[in-house]
Amino acid sequence: MELKGKSQAMTERFLDENYELAHLEVTPGEPGGSQSVDLPVLHGTMGPSVLDIRKLYAETGYFTYDPGYTSTASCASNITFIDGEKGILLHRGYPIEELAEKSTFLEVAYLLMEGNLPRKKDFESFVESITLHTMVNEQLHNFFQGFRRDAHPMAIMVGVVGALSAFYHDSLDIHDPKQRLIASHRLIAKMPTLAAMAYKYSMGQPFIYPRNDLGYAENFIHMLFATPAAPYKVNPVIGNALDKILILHADHEQNPSTSTVRLAGSSGANPFACVAAGIACLWGPIHGGANEAVINMLKEIGHKDRILEYIKRARDKNDPFRLMGFGHRVYKHYDPRAAVLRKTCQAVLDELGNHDDPLLKLAKELEKIALEDPYFIEKKLYPNVDFYSGIILKAIGIPTSMFTVLFAVARTVGWIAQWMEMLEDPSQKIGRPRQLYTGSTLRHFSPLSQRKD
């Protein structure tokens, strides 16, 4: 059976038909003996098979221990596939390189959510629905006044996206597929509007309303850079570059923020609250915040003569410094998104007449030295998506503090697609990991007056 659509019921059937049993012996080091259990090994369509341990505790009394989930598949999904050893990324089976070159962000959004590329009529009604939801409730404008002008835009986004749940009560019932869809379209449509408002607020400029005659990326740029004082025309080079960046960030299977969205959603939380949780997780500097950190690092390095000093620091176990934009949990090969961005970066800078951008030159030099360094070779550390994205964003005039916000705008599509898939999954349960307890054993309370120093 080939899985092409998005149905979770199909996934269930597929897994039921594609398994075998593995025999596991657990022999503890204390008297008490050995336990054995037969566990199903499930086979997906691609990638490593998984040991189904759902019955392990009930049958043996053991949990598994896997901090950081390095060996754990938290769900079955048919949205995105990554082969980290070969540097392959597929969305619903389509290579990211083809999508970045030939598709648009909204078409990729449709693909991720619906499972297949749209036919013309379906795409038109999808685009129309997104376009009709771009404005936010006028009262939401007041929320912004509560933030300091120098607040980080990601801090604002965590607040205002969560606040959408206080405005759109007619799309909060997660058990109603229609409401789920409307909430999803609202989120995709309103994220650029809220992101641009966060930026305008920090600049002390008036908010710019969305323009529904513009494409998704163009409208976003317009809301960021237009002012009521003068007409503003979006440069198509910039519009296309941003659209491509959005495609490259749209989904990446069970990354930390997506897993956060799924975990929040597993309790039945509404989609606006779940996406706010995803934004909070994405903000971290070793996840989505890395694009901002790369630019700060490149500025700090400043000159190619200082690269070796920073490579040395990255190698030093006693120095917390890491080469930002390098390394990935899944990719042990060049991140295919970074490869597209490296090319795009040069093309965009050339088109903007900025042939010798010093940051790009420094980044390329840093990449070259790192890729030849024994430490980076041994640990299979390659540039990831964040290494070149910041340089393009900077070149098209996006301020550094907005980089991760742009990532959040794009990743909203992946969060939503994965959240919907989870809710349609018949095997879905509340996400509730267990632990290996290492704290104090039972002891009894003593009053403060009787406690000794």
Catalytic residue among 328, 335, 373, 425: 328
- Shortest Cβ distance from residue 322 to ligand CMC (Å)? 4
Q: Phi first, then psi: what are they for 94, rounded to 5°?
A: -90, 130
- Does residue 405 bind ligand CMC (CB under 6 A)? no
- Does residue 328 bind ligand CMC (CB under 6 A)? yes
Position among 46, 122, 379, 397 found at the interface with ligand CMC (CB under 6 A) = 379
Q: Return the number of the residue (288 or 414) whose C-beta is nearest ligand CMC.
A: 288
Q: Return the number of the residue (207 or 375) whose C-beta is nearest ligand CMC.
A: 375
Position among 14, 326, 382, 419 found at the interface with ligand CMC (CB under 6 A) = 326
Distance CA 409, CA 249 (A): 9
- Does residue 290 bind ligand CMC (CB under 6 A)? yes
* Residue type present at position 253: E
- Does residue 323 bind ligand CMC (CB under 6 A)? yes
In terms of C-beta distances under 8 Å and separation of at least 24 residues, what long-range contacts does 167-174 make, across chains too? 167/136, 167/137, 167/139, 167/140, 168/137, 168/272, 171/271, 172/270, 172/272, 174/265, 174/268, 174/270, 174/271, 174/423
- Shortest Cβ distance from residue 407 to ligand CMC (Å)? 7
> Considering CB under 6 A, how many residues would be counted as binding ligand CMC?
20
| Contact window for ligand CMC (CB under 6 A) among 37-45, 116-124, 327-335, 445-453 | 327-335
Position among 203, 286, 308, 377 found at the interface with ligand CMC (CB under 6 A) = 286
- Does residue 255 bind ligand CMC (CB under 6 A)? yes
Percent helix / strand / coil, the chain, rounded to 5? 55, 5, 40
| CA pseudo-torsion sign 88, 92, 93, 94 | negative
Q: How many CB atoms lie within 10 A of CB 111?
A: 24
Give how far Cα 59 sits from Cα of 25, 49, 137, 427, Å.
12, 22, 53, 19
Q: Return the number of the residue (159 or 327) whose C-beta is nearest ligand CMC.
A: 327
- Does residue 332 bind ligand CMC (CB under 6 A)? no
Position among 210, 265, 271, 327 found at the interface with ligand CMC (CB under 6 A) = 327
8-state DSSP, 68: G
Specify the DSSP element, H or E, that contains 88: strand 88-91
Q: How far is CA 39 from the centre of its chain?
A: 32
- Does residue 385 bind ligand CMC (CB under 6 A)? yes
Distance CA 247, CA 91 (A): 11
- Shortest Cβ distance from residue 385 to ligand CMC (Å)? 5
Kind of pairing, strands 35-42 and 88-91?
unpaired
| Contact window for ligand CMC (CB under 6 A) among 38-46, 120-128, 302-310, 378-386 | 378-386
- Does residue 211 bind ligand CMC (CB under 6 A)? no
Distance CA 66, CA 435 (A): 10
8-state DSSP, 42: E
Burial of 9 (0-12, 13-18, 19+ CB in 10 A): exposed
- Shortest Cβ distance from residue 71 to ligand CMC (Å)? 12
| Contact window for ligand CMC (CB under 6 A) among 51-59, 160-168, 284-292, 418-426 | 284-292
Q: Which single residue brings its beta carbon nearest to ligand CMC?
A: 327
- Picking from 137, 130, 154, 98, the residue whose alpha carbon sits closest to that of residue 216 is 130
- Shortest Cβ distance from residue 394 to ligand CMC (Å)? 17
- Shortest Cβ distance from residue 334 to ligand CMC (Å)? 12
| Contact window for ligand CMC (CB under 6 A) among 33-41, 112-120, 379-387, 427-435 | 379-387
Distance CA 83, CA 87 (A): 6
- Shortest Cβ distance from residue 301 to ligand CMC (Å)? 14
Position among 325, 336, 390, 414 found at the interface with ligand CMC (CB under 6 A) = 325
- Shortest Cβ distance from residue 304 to ligand CMC (Å)? 18
Q: How many CB atoms lie within 10 A of CB 83?
A: 17
| Contact window for ligand CMC (CB under 6 A) among 37-45, 53-61, 169-177, 316-324 | 316-324
Q: How many CB atoms lie within 10 A of CB 130?
A: 21
Taking the CA atoms of residue 279, residue 116, residue 100 and residue 274 in that order, the dihedral angle to the nearest 10 degrees is: 0
Distance CA 33, CA 372 (A): 51
SS (H, E, C) 249-280: CCCCCCCHHHHHHHHHHHCCCCHHHHHHHHHH
62-121: contacts with ligand CMC (CB under 6 A): 68
- Does residue 324 bind ligand CMC (CB under 6 A)? yes
Q: Return the number of the residue (191 or 290) whose C-beta is nearest ligand CMC.
A: 290
* Catalytic residue flag (residue 386): yes
8-state DSSP, 87: T
- Shortest Cβ distance from residue 172 to ligand CMC (Å)? 29
Catalytic residue among 243, 357, 386, 425: 386
* Catalytic residue flag (residue 141): no
Chain residues binding ligand CMC by CB under 6 A are: 68, 255, 286-288, 290, 314, 322-329, 379, 381, 384-386
Please give the positions annotated as active site: 328, 386
